[in-house]
């Protein structure tokens, strides 16, 4: 693996050096930086088109497969927010049984969350003998973990008591569309599907520009990117806020593992079977949508990304560096993971930063600004293309989402900052082992986890 990286680095270094010597060619070398992005873009665009072509056939396929589904809702300090989540699962239009399990981590400290979870029992019970059940076919239980143990223990506790054939994990602050379960389950008809990735949207879209930008980002990186990638069985991550798994498969691979970014960890571990079981397939369902609370202020956003992007580096380059093998991932996912996971997410931010710095050092400011303007339009073009694909092919709420085009001109700036911030996060992880500062589990749990 390291050998491969040095090769890539070497290649890029040579391009870099020649550009340094012959400054006049810089402008022509620009696309080289976005070569990585462009290759991904193509994969995604064709993936979406392919998905769109087969969508109707998938939806109109008759189905009598309605297994019992267990929903593990991870609750911590959400308070009464979890009512929305529980209600949204109760409201599912699904012919089979849905078992809703609200696992409250640290139920003692989070007494209000626990009380809210207990209060929800009223929806699923009869007040008197002759009252028909409000939600027949739905059962609900609260699983309080009195001692706080972190997200992973919460999920595994839920998995331990779940009876459903399909397990769906959901965050306590995420509520779901009423077709979610039915659409997710539909994918499991194929016995080769061990897991399905679910889509997320921002619930508090209108809170401010930060949430507006994140809405656009989610649309591109989740709705578009995952739809396209999943078509080629290269889904990057099954979100921790919303994913579905076949219970037996999940139990066999040992459930969720400790450390942060347990979702990416689980995705990597499932993918590690792809080399040996080439038929395994992780679909993405863009119309099974969880609406989640995104950070509403810029500061919260920066903190969240510091964690996420740092965790990404920790996962790919520390915890799962052993997984970067063709034998495990299969050639397709190996290339993808390197390009997406390592080059785009980790190395590209550094390159962009250095390029911009170099641009201003070598060239007159006017020329540098000109180049950046060109880059801006390049990225704007990419964003508009993605948003258009999303809007016309994927969106299920077109009438409510036209505003995204209005906000798209700001998006490249936001994306640029995000890239720079992701570099800071990577540095922080490399130097300060940021992943160990997670708030996802208490320190006494983190301390005992295997060091990478």
Partner 1 sequence: MPNHSNGKPALLNFNEAGEAYDSDDKKPVILCLGKPDVHYSEAYSVKVLFDLAAFYDALPLYENLAAILLCQHAADEALPVIRQHPNTALILVFCDEPCLYPHDGNIPTEQQLTSAWQAWQQAYASYPELGKTHNPQDLLLAYLALRGDCLLTPERDLSSALSYRYPVLELFDLGDSQYFLKQAMRDELMSPVSLVDRVRQCTHCGHNKLNYVDLCPQCSSLDIKQQSAIHCFTCGHVGEQQRFMDGGRLVCPNCLTALRHIGADYDRPLENMECNSCQSFFIEAKVVARCLHCDHENDPSDLNIAQIQSFRITDKAKFRLRVALDERFSLDLGEQVSRDYLHWLVDWQLGLSRRHQIEFALLCLSFNRVEQAVDELGAAQVYRMIGQLGTQVKDRLRVTDVICQYEDHSYLLLLPNLPVDHLTVVQQKMRQLSQLVEGSSALDMAVSYYHAPSELVEGENGEFLIARLLAEASGHD
Q: Exposed, middle or buried: residue 444 (CB in 10 Å: 0-12, 13-18, 19+)?
A: exposed
Residue 233 tokens, joined: 């069985």
| CB closer to partner 1, 91 vs 436 | 91
Residue 144: how many CA atoms within 13 Å on its side-chain side?
14
* x/- map, 109-138, partner 1, by CB under 8 A: ----------------------xx-x----
| CB closer to partner 1, 176 vs 274 | 176
CB of 106 to partner 1, least distance (A): 27
Q: Is 74 helix (H, G, I), strand (E, B) or coil?
A: strand
Binding flag, residue 176, partner 1 (CB under 8 A): yes
The closest of 316, 328, 174, 142 to 243, measured between CA atoms, is 174
Binding flag, residue 76, partner 1 (CB under 8 A): no
* Residues near 397 by beta carbon (within 8 Å), at least 6 away in sequence: none
CB of 160 to partner 1, least distance (A): 29
Among the residue ranges 175-183, 212-220, 263-271, 443-451, the one whose residues contact partner 1 (CB under 8 A): 175-183
Per-residue CA distances from 326 to 10, 52, 237, 342 (Å): 22, 30, 19, 15
Binding flag, residue 451, partner 1 (CB under 8 A): no
Among the residue ranges 74-82, 114-122, 176-184, 258-266, the one whose residues contact partner 1 (CB under 8 A): 176-184
* x/- map, 347-386, partner 1, by CB under 8 A: ----------------------------------------
Please state, in angstroms and rounded to a whole number, the distance separating the CA atoms of residues 451 and 258: 11
| CB closer to partner 1, 136 vs 366 | 136
The closest of 413, 397, 161, 150 to 257, measured between CA atoms, is 150
CB of 62 to partner 1, least distance (A): 11
* Residues near 217 by beta carbon (within 8 Å), at least 6 away in sequence: 411, 414, 415, 418
CB of 188 to partner 1, least distance (A): 15
| CB closer to partner 1, 131 vs 450 | 131
Contact positions with partner 1 (CB under 8 A) in 383-412: 396-397
Residue 441: how many CA atoms within 13 Å on its side-chain side?
22
Binding flag, residue 178, partner 1 (CB under 8 A): yes
Answer whether 132's CB lies under 8 Å from 95's CB: no
Specify the residue for token string 């989540």: 85
CB of 143 to partner 1, least distance (A): 23
Question: Cα Rg for the chain, rounded, in angstroms?
Answer: 23
Binding flag, residue 102, partner 1 (CB under 8 A): no
Out of 179, 393, 410, 430, name the contact with partner 1 by CB under 8 A: 179
Out of 37, 91, 401, 437, name the contact with partner 1 by CB under 8 A: 91
| CB closer to partner 1, 129 vs 397 | 397
Answer whether 248's CB lies under 8 Å from 161's CB: no
| CB closer to partner 1, 126 vs 277 | 126
Answer whether 395's CB lies under 8 Å from 328's CB: no
Binding flag, residue 241, partner 1 (CB under 8 A): no
Residue 183: how many CA atoms within 13 Å on its side-chain side?
20
- Interface residues toward partner 1, by CB under 8 A: 84, 87-88, 91, 93, 131-132, 134, 175-179, 182, 289, 291, 396-397
């Amino acid at each position: 693996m390291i050998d491969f990286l040095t090769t890539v680095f070497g290649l890029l270094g040579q391009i870099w050096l020649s550009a340094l010597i012959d400054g006049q060619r810089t402008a022509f070398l620009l696309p080289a930086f976005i070569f990585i992005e462009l290759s991904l873009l193509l994969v995604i665009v064709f993936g979406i088109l392919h998905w769109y072509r087969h969508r109707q056939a998938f939806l109109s396929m008759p189905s009598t497969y309605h297994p019992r589904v267990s929903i593990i809702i991870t609750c911590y300090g959400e308070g009464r927010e979890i009512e929305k989540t529980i209600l949204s699962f109760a409201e599912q239009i699904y012919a089979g049984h849905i078992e809703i399990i609200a696992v409250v981590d640290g139920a003692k400290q989070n007494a209000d969350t626990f009380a809210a979870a207990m209060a929800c029992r009223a929806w699923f019970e009869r007040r008197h003998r002759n009252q028909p059940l409000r939600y027949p076919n739905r059962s609900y239980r609260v699983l309080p973990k009195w001692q706080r143990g972190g997200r992973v223990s919460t999920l595994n506790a839920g998995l331990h008591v779940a009876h459903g054939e399909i397990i769906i994990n959901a965050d306590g602050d995420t509520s779901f569309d009423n077709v979610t379960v039915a659409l997710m389950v539909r994918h499991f008809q194929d016995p080769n599907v061990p897991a399905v990735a679910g889509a997320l949207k921002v619930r508090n879209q209108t809170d401010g520009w930060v949430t507006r930008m994140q809405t656009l980002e989610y649309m591109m990186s989740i709705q578009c990117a995952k739809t396209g990638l999943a078509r080629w069985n290269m889904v990057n991550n099954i979100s921790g806020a919303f994913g579905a798994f076949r219970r037996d498969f999940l139990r066999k691979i040992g459930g969720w593992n400790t450390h942060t970014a347990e979702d990416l960890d689980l995705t990597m571990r499932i993918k590690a079977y792809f080399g040996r079981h080439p038929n395994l397939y992780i679909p993405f369902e863009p119309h099974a949508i969880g609406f989640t609370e995104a950070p509403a202020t810029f500061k919260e956003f920066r903190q969240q990304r510091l964690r996420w992007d740092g965790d990404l580096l920790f996962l790919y380059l520390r915890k799962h560096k052993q997984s970067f093998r063709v034998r495990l991932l299969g050639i397709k996912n190996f290339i993808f993971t390197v390009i997406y996971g390592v080059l785009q997410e980790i190395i590209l931010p550094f390159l962009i930063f250095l390029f911009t710095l170099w641009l201003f050092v070598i060239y007159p400011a006017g020329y540098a600004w000109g180049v950046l303007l060109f880059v801006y339009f390049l990225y704007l073009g990419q964003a508009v293309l993605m948003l258009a694909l999303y809007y016309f092919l994927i969106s299920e709420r077109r009438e409510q989402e036209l505003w995204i085009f209005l906000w798209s001109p700001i998006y490249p700036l936001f994306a640029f900052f995000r890239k720079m911030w992701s570099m800071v996060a990577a540095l922080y992880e490399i130097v300060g082992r940021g992943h160990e500062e997670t708030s996802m589990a208490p320190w006494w749990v983190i301390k005992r986890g295997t060091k990478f």
